[in-house]
Amino acid sequence: MLGAHDKSRKYNLDYLTAKDSKIEFCDADLRDFHSLKSAAKAADLVVHTAGQVAVTTSIRDPRTDFEISALGTLNVLEAARLNDATVLFCSTNKVYGESVNKIPEFEQAHRYAFKDLQYVNGVPEGFSIDNAEHSPYGSSKLAADTYVQEYAHTYGLRTGVFRMSCIYGERQFGVEDQGWVAWFSIATSTDRPIVIYGNGKQVRDVLHVTDLVNAFDMFLRSKSNHAVFNMGGGPDNTLSLLELLKLLRSLTGREPRVSFHEWRLHDQKIYISDIRKSNGETGWKPTISPQEGVKRMVEWIGKNRALLN
């Protein structure tokens, strides 16, 4: 019998290969440079989405987190350098660490909001990454992030760094520690308990995966040789945890089973991406609202309950 991880991997691999019979799957470890070099042979584009995905896991096991995210990314870059391939790297808002919690905010009925009008459009790419209490996860991703930038500056590789906020969409098998929009949607739809750490007023800008792929595509079509973009839904596409629960009640007709625990280490009360740079350099902007995106996810869950047991 397949475990949950194996089922989700098989489901998504089957989905991709059904879309394109030319896809070749290599089951290997990102830390194994020789396997990666072989898989990337003759590639002209590497979309680097692999990594350790949870802050909590990085705290428990920082060495493995570092080896996957930092060393693994160096392996990707070296494999790409052999072919002069373009690299698109999925970085994270966690490179800014807890510094975003120093931005003055105020508390509303169902969410936090930035008080400082300097951040009305969100957190820009130039926001400080120093003395930021990143967490081991944020530190390893930041190391990878800067290495991708350096391979553009030193070796001339074409690279795009996408510091992602909350990406979600159909076929995402979210869990408590990663993919909160997907996890809340799955848990509500299947009557599983949801634990909120803090008061639920934490805010993120959310971005449907279709819009993320469009951002990749528009960067590749642009004249930019290297860029760092904060990548999310921006200030027009935000949700607090409490607001997502309200939306899910409306979409599913179910009452989420919620309990509240203490705040977790390194959580950001508010993170909203300033996406004006990406828009200015490539013309990209989000097109799918949180209401539409979550509706699509709930509909997908309803059609695929057997996968989620």
Please state, as a whole number, how many other Cβ atoms lie within 10 Å of the Cβ of residue 257. 12
d(CA 294, CA 170): 9
Phi first, then psi, for residue 204 (nearest 5°) are -135, 150
d(CA 70, CA 64): 10
Bridge partners (DSSP) of residue 165 are none
205 with 286: CB under 8 angstroms?
Answer: no
Bridge partners (DSSP) of residue 81 are none
Catalytic, 137? Answer yes
- Scanning the chain, the segments in alpha helix (DSSP H) are 4-19, 33-39, 55-60, 62-66, 72-83, 135-155, 180-189, 209-221, 241-252, 276-282, 290-303
Please state, as a whole number, how many other Cβ atoms lie within 10 Å of the Cβ of residue 285. 16
Active-site pick, 96, 119, 137, 151: 137
252 with 298: CB under 8 angstroms?
Answer: yes
- Annotated active-site positions, please? 137
